[in-house]
Amino acid sequence: MTREERQLREAIIAKCRWMNASGLNQGTSGNISARYKDRMLITPSATPYDAMKPEMIASMPLEGEHGSWEGPLQPSTEWRFHLDIMRGRPDVGGVVHTHSTYATVLAIARKPIPACHYMMAAFGGNDIRCAGYARYGTAELSELALQALEGRNGCLLANHGMIAVGANLDKAMWLAVELETIARQYYLSLALGAPHILSEAEIAETAKGFSTYGLQTPKPKPESKAKSGPKPAKARAAKAAARQRVEKKHSGKR
């Protein structure tokens, strides 16, 4: 195991522990995967995160025998949609699946999330779709999830939970947090009545703004100082006068 791979395995475990500590997930119901070269690293099945060690993370080939794996423990029972997402989406480097409360509540009600907040633009469209129901770990669930994720970075799974995907592990976890946040906001807005939904044009405008968000405008370069040369007479006179005042002050203290 290379140092780089070990660090990625440790990052997966740290993310698992964080999402439980933050309330984004409960127990071992969630699972996380990350792309590493031509393989996928994924959390093992039914293993408490606090007891997880880097060597326990399962490794699966992105090409070749579908479902084969290496490691001391079996991969998560949800390995199918993790693997199929990474096979079908070269842009995805990390996948986070959780049973977060508000996203799961909406998934139970089978309610997709419309553009109730401008952060919907981070998911690649005007809504978060809700995939149809299929038993966990099945090929059918994987197919439904892939359909719901078409052109999107997140989706709900009917009567189950949610999936967030990103270019890397950090981005995937950030989007998982954003998805749960939007789900909570949408749920609470429904309690007030009919929430106002943003238009396609408004979401497109936000998406355009995201393309430059965080990019700092470079500071103008300071003007180069003139090469040292004879100082102006006025500057020399001022400096000499200042020196005389200092000398006079010190001479008076003797």
φ, ψ for residue 31, nearest 5 deg: -155, 155
pTM recorded for the entire structure: 0.82
Measured CA distances, 245 to 239, 241, 252 (Å): 10, 6, 11
Q: Which of 65, 78, 140, 223 is catalytic?
A: 78
Instruction: Verify whether residue 200 is a known catalytic residue.
Output: no
Q: Encode the chain (254 residues) as per-residue pLDDT tens digits.
A: 899 999 999 999 999 999 999 999 999 999 999 999 999 999 999 999 999 999 999 999 999 888 899 999 999 999 999 999 999 999 999 999 999 999 999 999 999 999 999 999 999 999 999 999 999 999 999 999 999 999 999 999 999 999 999 999 999 999 999 999 999 999 999 999 989 999 999 999 999 988 765 444 566 666 655 454 555 566 666 666 767 765 665 555 44
